[in-house]
């Protein structure tokens, strides 16, 4: 199994919905025995789109070849109807320098604001993880990004639970920090009552390393991904329901961290953490999340210059936020249809809106929203390093707002079935539309009558 980052330039024009366009073109480019672990449109030019993707290459006799051969984006399922309870999805992509969510957990307040307007809110770890802190509201469902994509594509349902037993894997490279990891596990058990009593050390070093994409996004590679799969399989055999991990991430320099601290580049480790958890989600369909071991503790400026980064400085293993999130993360249930879904499952049928930064509309959540006709609330204030706005995507379901405060109002209106047009001014008068004239012997007579009205 080999993981690598690729750039694809695909000739196309928008004709229909983006998800079908991208899926067809992308599948042709991938070839056999290749799975797209993550991808996003990062640029749209005249007659061309640019996609950055992390792919897995595998042999046909690989242990997990059957699972990796199923590419969910090729067979999306449309939302069938609006079901109750009413929920929304909050997307804060990692590795693209989000103004809200580009630092440890600093999208937590806006996530909780949005959650206060609905029955439940689904989001991914990047939105709320903050080292020793995770202050997500009680009605927030903590779902890893790959599973969240597949949820929006109609392949997965969510089953809320009271608690999960969590297993942890530790990268062998970080064995010097094992006491910090074990203390975090024991503190979570003693203070919060989290069931997280099992951990295992990987048989070999993962060799996780950061990379930067051509667009400036933080990505990365893993030399020994099989070591993760082996550990997760072992932990599952011991009766755990969810798996968290801590790994040493190589390649971060003092200069990089300083630039990140000052908001100039994305968090260097964000992209590679997503790749690790996407791999686990794809193969095992379990709740999962990841934290970096304190590999660059000595590189960090001991500074208070950026309050959004403050959570970075109060933790050693950065792992308690993961344990709190996974403790009540919903279980993932594969589904074959969005019709007649069991009452205990939450599916895309329950989603009334998806909220995302306004300049990164090229990811699967945005494409799935267009595909299913779900309102896509694009927040201009949450700027990123990308420029994939609706000016270029031209999707009819996008509602652009300036702030998360405005987004919360839009969500309330959608929840209550209040027309957005009705709460804005000026209010335009109702518009008359004429049916086409009938054909036949009386056509001219009917047309003459209509002209007099």
Number of residues written out for the chain = 453
Per residue in 181-228, pLDDT tens?
A: 999 999 999 999 999 999 999 999 999 999 999 899 999 999 999 999
CB atoms within 10 A of CB 405: 12
* Residue 154 backbone zone (phi > 0: left; psi -120 to 50: alpha; other: beta): left
Per-residue model confidence (pLDDT) at position 448: 66
pLDDT category of residue 256 using cuts at 50, 70 and 90: confident
Which residues, in sequence order, are bridge partners of residue 333?
Answer: 157
Asked whether the predicted pLDDT for residue 27 surpasses 70, the reply is yes
Buried b (16+ CB within 10 A) or exposed e, 86-107: bbbbbbbbbbbbbbbbbbbbbb
Per residue in 97-148, pLDDT tens?
A: 999 999 889 999 999 999 999 999 999 999 999 988 999 999 999 999 999 9
Per-residue model confidence (pLDDT) at position 82: 96
Angle between helical axes of 270-284 and 145-152 (0-180°, round to 10): 60
Percent with pLDDT over 90 in the chain: 77
Tokens 């379990």 — which residue?
286
Per-residue pLDDT averaged across 425-442, rounded? 83
Percent with pLDDT over 70 in the chain: 94
Tokens of 382: 């949450």
Tokens of 339: 């019709």
Cα angle 385, 389, 392 (rounded to 5 degrees) comes to 125
Asked whether the predicted pLDDT for residue 425 surpasses 80, the reply is yes
Which residues, in sequence order, are bridge partners of residue 244?
Answer: 168, 289
- State the Cα–Cα distance between residues 169 and 175, nearest whole angstrom: 11
- State the Cα–Cα distance between residues 102 and 108, nearest whole angstrom: 11
Tokens of 409: 């109002």
CA dihedral of 303, 304, 309, 310, whole degrees rounded to 10: 100
Most confident of 15-19, 158-162, 214-218: 158-162
CA dihedral of 142, 145, 147, 153, whole degrees rounded to 10: 120
CB atoms within 10 A of CB 172: 17
Which residues, in sequence order, are bridge partners of residue 178?
Answer: none
Asked whether the predicted pLDDT for residue 163 surpasses 60, the reply is yes
What lies within 8 Å, CB to CB, of 166 at 6+ separation is: 194, 195, 196, 198, 240, 241, 242, 243, 244, 323, 326, 327
Asked whether the predicted pLDDT for residue 285 surpasses 90, the reply is yes
The answer to pTM > 0.85 is yes
Tokens of 238: 């011991």
- State the Cα–Cα distance between residues 204 and 227, nearest whole angstrom: 7
């Amino acid at each position: 199994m080999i993981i690598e980052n690729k750039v694809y330039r695909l000739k196309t024009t928008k004709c229909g919905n983006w998800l079908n366009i991208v899926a067809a073109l992308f599948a042709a480019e991938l070839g056999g025995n290749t799975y797209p672990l993550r991808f996003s449109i990062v640029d749209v030019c005249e007659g061309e789109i640019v996609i950055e993707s992390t792919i897995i290459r595998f042999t046909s006799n690989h242990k997990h070849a059957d699972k990796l051969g199923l590419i969910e984006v090729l067979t999306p399922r449309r939302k069938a109807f609006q079901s109750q309870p009413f929920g929304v999805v909050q997307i804060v992509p990692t590795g693209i320098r989000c103004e809200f969510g580009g630092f440890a957990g600093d999208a937590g307040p806006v996530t909780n604001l949005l959650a206060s307007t609905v029955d439940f809110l689904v989001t991914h770890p990047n939105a709320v993880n903050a080292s020793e802190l995770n202050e997500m509201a009680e009605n927030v469902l903590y779902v890893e990004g790959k599973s969240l994509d597949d949820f929006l594509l109609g392949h997965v349902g969510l089953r809320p639970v009271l608690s999960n037993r969590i297993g942890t894997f530790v990268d062998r490279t970080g064995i010097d920090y094992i006491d910090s990891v074990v203390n975090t596990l024991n503190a979570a058990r003693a203070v919060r009552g989290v069931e997280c009593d099992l951990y295992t050390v990987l048989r070999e070093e993962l060799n996780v390393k950061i990379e930067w994409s051509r667009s400036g996004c933080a990505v990365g590679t893993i030399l020994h991904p099989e070591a993760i799969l082996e550990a997760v399989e072992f932990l599952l055999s011991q009766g755990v329901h969810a798996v968290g991990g801590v790994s040493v991430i190589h390649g971060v320099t003092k200069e990089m961290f300083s630039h990140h601290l000052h908001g100039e580049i994305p968090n260097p480790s964000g992209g590679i953490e997503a790749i690790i958890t996407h791999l686990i989600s794809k193969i095992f369909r379990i709740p999962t999340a990841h934290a970096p071991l304190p590999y660059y503790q000595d590189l960090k400026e001991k500074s208070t210059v950026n309050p959004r980064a403050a959570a970075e400085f109060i933790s050693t293993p950065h792992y308690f936020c993961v344990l709190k999130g996974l403790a009540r993360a919903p279980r993932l249930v594969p589904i074959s249809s969005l019709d007649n879904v069991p009452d205990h499952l939450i599916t895309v049928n329950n989603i009334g809106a998806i909220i995302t930064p306004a300049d990164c509309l090229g990811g699967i959540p945005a494409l799935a929203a267009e595909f299913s006709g779900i309102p896509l609330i694009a927040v201009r204030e949450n700027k990123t390093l990308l420029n994939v706005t609706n000016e270029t995507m031209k999707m009819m379901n996008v509602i652009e707002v300036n702030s998360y405060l405005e987004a919360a109002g839009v969500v309330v209106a959608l929840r209550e079935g209040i027309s957005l047009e009705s709460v804005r001014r000026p209010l335009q008068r109702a518009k008359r539309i004429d049916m086409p004239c009938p054909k036949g012997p009386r056509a001219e007579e009917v047309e003459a009558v209509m002209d007099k009205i």
